[in-house]
Amino acid sequence: MEKAISILGKKQTFNRISPSCSLREAINIMNTMNTDYVAVVDDNEEFVGILTEHEIARQSRSEKVL
């Protein structure tokens, strides 16, 4: 059975932003890259989390975030 790393090893790049990136900029990156998520990576290249369009939409329904 193939392992997850064999797939990840094939992927050359992924969409990522810094924690200080604005939500508007994150959405623009997602739209440009035709994806619905970006990885959030800090200045030390440490993974912080995944930001998705769904999370932004859910938050924007409860408050004005953009």
The residue with tokens 């990156």 is 29
How large is the average pLDDT for residues 29-55?
94
pLDDT per position as a tens digit, 18-39? 999 999 999 999 999 999 999 9
Contacts of 50 (CB under 8 A, 6+ apart): 37, 38, 39, 40
* Domains present along the chain, CATH in parentheses: 12-62 (3.10.580.10)
Tell me, yes or no, if the pTM score tops 0.85: no
Q: How confident is the model at residue 61 (pLDDT cuts 50, 70, 90)?
A: confident
The confidence score (pLDDT) of residue 14 equals 74
9 falls in which pLDDT band (50, 70, 90)?
low
